[in-house]
Amino acid sequence: MDRIEVSNLNRQFLFRLQDVGKPKAEVAAKRVMERVSGVNIVPHFCRIEDKDLDFYNDFSIIVLGLDSIEARSYINAVACSFLEYDSEENPQEETIKPMVDGGTEGFKGHARVIMPGVTPCFECTIWLFPPQVKFPLCTLAETPRTAAHCIEYAHLIKWDEVHSGKTFDPDDPEHMKWVYSEAVKRAELFGIPGVTYSLTQGVVKNIIPAIASTNAIISAACALETLKIASGCSKTLSNYLTYNGVEGLHTKVTEFARDKDCLVCGPGVLIELDTSVTLQKFIDLLEEHPKLLISKASVTHRGKSLYMQAPPVLEEMTRSNLSLPLFDIMDKTAKDIVHVTGTTINKGTKTSCLRKLRVVFKGIDGVTDMDTAGGA
Amino acid sequence: MAEPKIKYDRQLRIWGEKGQAALEKASICLLNCGPTGSETLKNLVLGGIGSITVIDGSKVEVGDLGNNFMELNDAVKAKFIEEYPDALIETNPSFFSQFTLVIATQLGEDSMVKLDRICREANVKLIFARSYGLTGFVRISLKVCVLTLKLVIEMFSPSWHSGKHYVNLQKIYQAKAESDVLVIEQRVRNILKKIGRDPDSISKTSIRTFCKNARKLTICRYRLIEDEFNSPIQPELQKYLTDEDYSLAVGFYILLRAVDRFAANYNSFPGQFDGEMDEDISRLKTTAVGLLSDLGCNGLTLTEDLINEMCRFGAAELHAVAAFIGGIASQEVIKLITKQFVPMCGTFIFNGIDHKSQLLSL
Ligand SMILES: [Zn+2]
């Protein structure tokens, strides 16, 4: 959903100064089609969460040029949701949706290939992306040592002291200038050098430095892996490449392992239900389930919307299903995969999430009795 | 025209105004503007390199590229010359002395050796880049590169909890640093006088910057290409040939050189033409064995698989590989020009099969 900014132009070579403000997807599609004949690119200027599962299922490979952990997590869950396992718990090849992911920061970057069910998914190795370390408040308040400490003091402490109730807006230049001048005062008081307006913006807005060459290296690796997966012309990266050019040149391939208990790329959380459980009751249950904690759930089964929270038209169309037994609206299937989207709480913040569930109805064809009671 | 401070904001945060000024002052010569050359150039033009001169023998490339590149960044001065680089190296070696740095892409061994000598003599920085099927290499060549690095050094661990003491200590450090600068300055002036140069030809600012970064002073040295080709460092070569982590990379290194010998003998690259594959495979194998024996590795052979793979490449310059190689090359150009980050040492061998690329110090 990004629009082109002037500060993109030092590396995003499909964009020109006259494109500033326009949707990136649209301009990029147009530029590539002008240059390369015979290629067809359909731009979609929207949030990745706005597209339904069927949309993503139409593609053979999903390539991620995303800039946040949340967005990666979401698309990863989408791609993994298509994955199905056979009776021996092996992934079924035709349901594997490969993903190619890349990211950069300054002189560093990574590229990875994810084959859901075969190689670790994004969630299996989520520990690779630890949450951003913020400075302890006591350091900011009492013992600042760096320019960044002074800036965060002005931004996180001083702002609230002076502007009671008014929220700081990082896109308001007046707000930014105020934080800058307070940070300068703070720095002078403690004899700390290095506070500049540019650094203030960088610290407050958490700006990630970026250059054309690192992006070229990482996107080339992603393009090459995508071409190899599509054509089968060579084996692929297995499964995580890092590049670091700060001191000399270091590239390294690490073969990470899957998390056998991963909720996202595993066979799906098993939910056993009586055939009488209504869709409404099922949705309530998702909110309480300790592994899921999904609120405002929308439910789909084999591409069919059972209940949709939005848009209003769809909500109205599917509302009558809520009072019906889930077993009935799933065409009386004894066990099957159901997809649920909604919001969950992740480290204190609400995030969009998608989960694949294995729903099994008790007492049908004796399936569950055998499965669950077998070992007892 | 966009405000440079905003346009370059994301990179100014890395190399600062000083690094940017160095880039904007640099004059770059690019030899051959195929996929590898143009991908290298693209990254430099976007970053605001001062001026580029492109030498390419094919009319189409030169005509096409002019417009495409200048659209990327109107602040960059560009010149396109239609001429074969090999011929230019042969007939007009002094041409290269006008540049800060030369980027030579897709050159054969003979021209590499000649250009290397020309650039060393003229004190012009040189970087080679080549893409070949799913492999390729990048190699820097210059006498010596001395860097004073820009680094943010956290002097104390976060547990250091008293701001006042910290600031006092910092003042003591500053005073000591200042007296060190005076001592070094005195020595510099004496040395300059002794060697018959103006004692004030090195400014106090330069000396201060040097002292400030002395702890992170780095020196990179690069062998002449000719020396590496004729007598690679034996212990390193033996190590690579027997180390599993290096086996593919060193295999590609040998084969990238073998294909040039092959081309010199047979006037085409192995696998370049259909119908000659089987013959080319055995010819390339013989060429590689011969090369290995010239390098002092008698009796060693490369795997059939690798030789077949090299023939399958048929000297193709794949765009995605060219983009990777060009990305690495432009990154090193930036490091050589901004002089704040350590450039790579040795020869980078790209392995596009499983990405287990390696740096070889030969
Ligand atoms: Zn997983």
Query: pLDDT digit string (tens) for B15-55?
Result: 999 999 999 999 999 999 999 999 999 999 999 999 999 99
Ligand 1 centre and the CA of A352: distance in Å?
17
Residue A66 lies in a domain: no
From A124, A138, A150, A265, the catalytic residue: A138
Per-residue confidence (pLDDT) for residue B65, from 0 to 100: 65
Per-residue confidence (pLDDT) for residue B157, from 0 to 100: 33
Euclidean distance between CA atoms B156 and A69, whole angstroms: 31
Residue A102 lies in a domain: no
Per-residue confidence (pLDDT) for residue B145, from 0 to 100: 72
Instruction: Flag whether pLDDT at A375 surpasses 50.
Output: no
Averaged pLDDT for residues A257-284: 92
Chain B residues with CB under 8 Å of A142 CB are 161, 163
Q: How far is residue B162 CA from its own chain's centroid?
A: 45
- B166 confidence band (pLDDT: 50, 70, 90): low
CB atoms within 10 A of CB B83: 15
**Helix or strand run (H / E) with residue A251:** strand A250-254
Q: State chain A's mean pLDDT as an integer.
A: 91
Cross-chain Cβ contact B356/A217 below 8 Å: no
Averaged pLDDT for residues A244-258: 95
Q: What is the pTM of this model?
A: 0.86
Per-residue confidence (pLDDT) for residue B350, from 0 to 100: 98
Q: How many helices (H) and strands (E) does chain A have?
A: 13, 10
Per-residue confidence (pLDDT) for residue B64, from 0 to 100: 63
Helix, strand or coil, per DSSP, at residue A39:
coil
Pick the most confident of A363-372, B85-94, B236-245: B85-94
Euclidean distance between CA atoms B128 and B106, whole angstroms: 8
Averaged pLDDT for residues A327-336: 91
Per-residue confidence (pLDDT) for residue B274, from 0 to 100: 80
Per-residue confidence (pLDDT) for residue A128, from 0 to 100: 87
Ligand 1 centre and the CA of A83: distance in Å?
11
Interval B63-116: pLDDT, tens = 566 667 778 898 999 999 999 999 999 999 999 999 999 999 999 999 999 999
Pick the closest to residue A65 from A28, A36, A91 (CA basis).
A28
Question: Is-contact A179 A151, C-beta < 8 A?
Answer: yes
Averaged pLDDT for residues B320-335: 98
- B329 confidence band (pLDDT: 50, 70, 90): very high
pLDDT greater at residue A97 or residue B195 = A97
Per-residue confidence (pLDDT) for residue B164, from 0 to 100: 60
Residue A96 lies in a domain: no
Residue A81 lies in a domain: no
Averaged pLDDT for residues B151-167: 44
Residue A328 lies in a domain: yes
- B160 confidence band (pLDDT: 50, 70, 90): very low
Mutate to test the interface with B, among A198, A211, A241 (most CBs of B within 10 A): A211
Chain B residues with CB under 8 Å of A216 CB are 39, 42-43, 323-324, 326-327, 330
Residue A188 lies in a domain: yes
**A233 classed as catalytic:** no
Q: What share of chain A in percent tops pLDDT 90?
A: 73
Domain span at residue B196? 149-220
Averaged pLDDT for residues A280-290: 93
Cross-chain Cβ contact B7/A142 below 8 Å: no
Interval A94-140: pLDDT, tens = 999 999 999 999 999 999 999 999 999 999 998 888 766 678 888 89
From A195-204, A250-259, B141-150, B243-252, the region with the lowest mean pLDDT: B141-150
CB atoms within 10 A of CB A360: 18
Euclidean distance between CA atoms A182 and B201, whole angstroms: 41
Per-residue confidence (pLDDT) for residue B211, from 0 to 100: 82
Q: Assign 3-class secondary structure to B242-278.
A: HCHHHHHHHHHHHHHHHHHHHHHHHCCCCCCCCCCHH
Residues B136 and B258 in one domain: no
| Residue among A111, A202, A214 minimizing CB distance to B13 | A202
- A243 confidence band (pLDDT: 50, 70, 90): very high
Per-residue confidence (pLDDT) for residue A133, from 0 to 100: 67
Residues B216 and B335 in one domain: no
Per-residue confidence (pLDDT) for residue A321, from 0 to 100: 95
Per-residue confidence (pLDDT) for residue B165, from 0 to 100: 64
Instruction: Flag whether pLDDT at A348 surpasses 80.
Output: no
Residues 6+ apart with CB under 8 A from A51: A44
* Site of tokens 């070569």: B237
Residues B139 and B8 in one domain: yes
Euclidean distance between CA atoms A94 and A227, whole angstroms: 18
- B162 confidence band (pLDDT: 50, 70, 90): very low
CB atoms within 10 A of CB B184: 15
Averaged pLDDT for residues B178-191: 90
**Final residue before a domain boundary, out of B220, B237, B264:** B220
Residues B50 and B163 in one domain: no
What is the count of structural domains for chain A?
Answer: 3
Residues B275 and B203 in one domain: no
Per-residue confidence (pLDDT) for residue B177, from 0 to 100: 84
Per-residue confidence (pLDDT) for residue B357, from 0 to 100: 97
Interval A286-320: pLDDT, tens = 999 988 899 999 999 988 899 999 889 999 999 99
Chain B residues with CB under 8 Å of A214 CB are 327, 331
d(CA B274, nearest CA chain A) in Å? 18
| Residue among A10, A111, A248 minimizing CB distance to B344 | A248
What is the count of structural domains for chain B?
Answer: 3
**CATH number, domain with residue A182:** 1.10.10.520
Residues A274 and A194 in one domain: no
Q: State chain B's mean pLDDT as an integer.
A: 89
Instruction: Flag whether pLDDT at A373 surpasses 80.
Output: no
Residues B63 and B135 in one domain: yes
Residues B33 and B132 in one domain: yes
On the question of a cis peptide bond just before residue A239, with omega within 30 degrees of 0, the verdict is yes
Residues B155 and B175 in one domain: yes
Cross-chain Cβ contact B327/A248 below 8 Å: no
Distances from the Cα of B268 to the Cα of B273, B276, B315, angstroms: 8, 11, 9
Instruction: Flag whether pLDDT at A376 surpasses 70.
Output: no
Cross-chain Cβ contact B353/A235 below 8 Å: yes
Domain span at residue A195? 137-205
**CATH number, domain with residue A292:** 3.10.290.20
Instruction: Flag whether pLDDT at A281 surpasses 50.
Output: yes
- B294 confidence band (pLDDT: 50, 70, 90): very high
- Residue A135 φ/ψ, nearest 5 degrees: -75, 145
Interval A4-30: pLDDT, tens = 999 999 999 999 999 999 999 999 999
- B149 confidence band (pLDDT: 50, 70, 90): low
Instruction: Flag whether pLDDT at B255 surpasses 90.
Output: yes
Classify residue B43 as exposed, middle or buried by CB count within 10 Å of its CB (0-12, 13-18, 19+).
buried
